[in-house]
Amino acid sequence: MAAPELRPMGIGDILDTTFRLYKSHFSTYTSIALLAYVPFSLMLSIYQISTGFGSQNHIRQLMEGQAVNQPPRVIGVSEFRWWVQPGRFEVAQDAPSPNIPGLLIGGLGTFIFAVVFLPWCQAALVHNISATYLGEDLGAVPSYRRAGPRVFRFVISAILVGLVSMLGCCMLVVPGIIFWLWFALVGPVIMLEDLGPIAAMSRSRQLMSGNLGKAFLLGFVVGLLSFFFQVFIMAFQAFIPWPHLFLEFFVPNVLGVLLLPIQLAPTILLYYDIRIRKEAFDLMMLANAVGRPIGP
């Protein structure tokens, strides 16, 4: 796929470009995500099974009319047993106990991947999506290398944005939404402009000035897409006759890699759209391509 023309984009253009990039670079995007999400899903599945939770596959049974004549199925932790019939449960002493070694290994592994490798994966995807949008052919491993030196700042900025947004939500919700919109571009700014967390938050707020409505609508549409994808995954998990409990947890967890580029790409494209509108980024790129500097 040729590099998209650098021009101001509406929401429809951003979504269309997102899916075009996703289609043309599917193997690269999924390779980047799988490098982190396969071991993360492995650790998470070990943790989920070790808690004592069994199959959560009730929807298929209810749809097939098996609920009335089926005995209770264990899906709770330790002493709880839930009936397949909705709204009933009873105490059962024979329910499986948590697997302590599995809890420790799975819990620790899940935590390490969640705070280190998943952010690194997202940062690598930011670099790769940006590169493919600008016409650069960047592989999975070089994307991780390029993102590596900035991962710590990426994590710190995510924590700061989360704290500020939660504080805003405590102030009657609306300020939290505004704070989230202000700092929506912090990730791309850190990765693509090499700024620190505080400077990136200030830069994001500057870029987002006058674009909050557009960002909110774009986020709403992407959120709807994510919601329907999650519903599909839940239905997939419920109706597949899994041969082993581990697969019932592992496969839906790892399928999240399919959605991750679609969640990240619109924000990166919005970043470039705003820079084109406010800073003539397209002219700067054109000038650099012909070797002539351009003033601010």
Question: What average pLDDT does this structure show over 39-64?
Answer: 67
Residues in CB range of 260: below 8 A, 6 or more apart: 29, 33, 37, 121, 122, 125
Compute how many other C-beta atoms are within 10 angstroms of the C-beta atom of residue 73.
Answer: 17
| Better-predicted residue by pLDDT, 108 or 28 | 28
Nearest to 130, CA basis, from 223, 261, 221, 16: 261
Q: How far apart are the first and last CA of the chain?
A: 31
In sequence order, the 6+-apart residues with CB closer than 8 A to the CB of 173 are: none
Read off the pLDDT of each residue in 175-191 and give the average, rounded to a whole number: 93
Percent of the chain residues past pLDDT 90, beyond the cut: 46
Q: What is the DSSP letter of 241?
A: -
This prediction's pTM: 0.78
The domain spans of the chain are 11-51+100-286, 53-97
User: Is pLDDT above 70 for 80?
Assistant: no
Q: 124-128, 140-144, 231-235: lowest mean pLDDT where? A: 231-235
Which residues lie closer than 8 Å to 237 by C-beta, 6 or more apart? Answer: 56, 57, 248, 251, 252
